[in-house]
Amino acid sequence: MWKFIVRRLIITLPQLLLMSLLVFFMASLMPGDAFTSQVDPSLSQEAIEEQRERLGLNDPWYQQYGRWISNVAEGDFGTSTAHYRPVTDLIWERMINTIWLSLLSVIFIYAIGIPLGIISGRWNDRLVDQIITGYTYLGFATPIFIFALVVLFFFGFTLGWFPTGGSVASGLEPGSFEYIISKLHHLLLPALSIALIGVVGTVQYLRSEIIDTKQKDFIVTARAKGAPESRVYNRHIFRNSVLPIAAFFGYEITMLITGSVFVEQIFSYPGMGNLFIESILIRDFPVVTAVVLLFGLAAILGALLSDIILSIVDPRIRIK
């Protein structure tokens, strides 16, 4: 087991290096650079070139990349050109909100997806299965921002059950009971928007696993021995079908990343996704590159986590 994890970690290192190169080159292809937004229009062209030379912006790409990746390895992402604050501090403030949003979204995904998958798989090809399957097809075909807009309009503006923006009501003392309740109230609608789309993969996969497991020989044998149908489903079919779902937990992270970028912007939720869009619009390059790098890192580590969980669930895939 440990040998598999070590080898998988070794494979991850080149992926991280390649991702950092891609992030650096994509940032360099954006119009302007980190100095563009700070230029005083009254400065002469000679003074601008002198400043660019002092900042190393005229150096070859490999020297700039070397300095950048060295600073990143030390946890230094530079200074925001729009907020005039360390990028690390700015990201950390937003990351906490995104972590809470992602955590609640995952809870919703499994709380909704597992029961629906069990119902759809147990009574497949019946009316209830057709309704659930129809919803999953709709979820696969509908972009997450469309879903978020519909949820926001219906539950936020029409019914007024949830706030339509922000992460907490103003004027509350941090850490108080009212503050925590307000924080949760602001989280519910964005998390539900992500979960309603994220749940479709879990439902379809669990449904397929249950239908496939129902046809296994050991299930036929259990029924032939006179085992009650509830025991057959709870102790044999369900237990053997739900374990592989855990292996896809890491891949949920990638879905949460892409979903949070749109949902946070729609709900004006101050998280990493909202910060990413805002930084692109105001050309805050240090923040953009840092957020993209962290998103990519989370996706790679999510895939690594899924491989590790899958190796625990199914030892046959372990690397010898």
What does the block give as tokens for 127? 């009316």
Distances (CA, A) of 149 to 185, 274, 303: 18, 15, 29
Pair 256, 102: CB distance under 8 Å = yes
Burial letters for 31-45: b for 16+ Cβ neighbours within 10 Å, e otherwise? eebbeeeeeeeeeee
HEC-encoded secondary structure of the chain: CHHHHHHHHHHHHHHHHHHHHHHHHHHHHCCCCCCHHHCCCCCCHHHHHHHHHHHCCCCCHHHHHHHHHHHHHCCCCCECCCCCCEHHHHHHHHHHHHHHHHHHHHHHHHHHHHHHHHHHHHCCCCHHHHHHHHHHHHHHHCCHHHHHHHHHHHHHHHCCCCCCCCCCCCCCCCCCHHHHHHHHHHHHHHHHHHHHHHHHHHHHHHHHHHHHHHCCHHHHHHHHCCCCHHHHHHHHHHHHHHHHHHHCHHHHHHHHHHHHHHHHHHCCCCCHHHHHHHHHHCCCHHHHHHHHHHHHHHHHHHHHHHHHHHHHHCHHHCCC
What does the block give as tokens for 35? 């100095």
Cα four-point dihedral sign 1, 299, 106, 98: positive
Q: pLDDT tens digits for the chain (320 residues)? A: 667 667 777 777 787 788 778 877 777 776 655 555 555 556 566 766 676 666 666 677 777 788 778 888 877 777 777 777 888 888 888 888 888 888 888 888 888 888 888 888 888 888 888 898 888 888 888 777 788 888 888 888 888 888 877 777 777 777 777 888 888 888 888 888 888 888 888 888 888 888 887 777 777 787 787 777 777 777 777 777 776 676 666 667 766 776 678 888 888 888 888 888 888 777 777 888 888 888 878 777 777 777 777 777 666 555 54
pLDDT in tens, 238-254: 777 776 676 666 667 76
Report the largest interatomic distance among the alpha carbons of the chain, rounded to a whole angstrom.
90
Region for 33 from its dihedrals, namely left if φ exceeds 0, alpha if ψ lies in -120 to 50, beta otherwise? beta
Cβ-Cβ contacts under 8 Å for 137 (sequence gap 6 or more): none
The total of other beta-carbon atoms located within 10 Å of residue 67's CB is 12
Q: Which amino acid makes up residue 34?
A: A
The Cα–Cα gap between 278 and 290 comes to 13
Distances (CA, A) of 214 to 116, 265, 314: 17, 43, 19
The Cα–Cα gap between 154 and 88 comes to 37
The Cα–Cα gap between 60 and 42 comes to 28
Residue 36's pLDDT is: 57
HSE on the CB side for 20, CA within 13 Å?
Answer: 18
Pair 144, 265: CB distance under 8 Å = no
pTM beyond 0.85: the answer is no
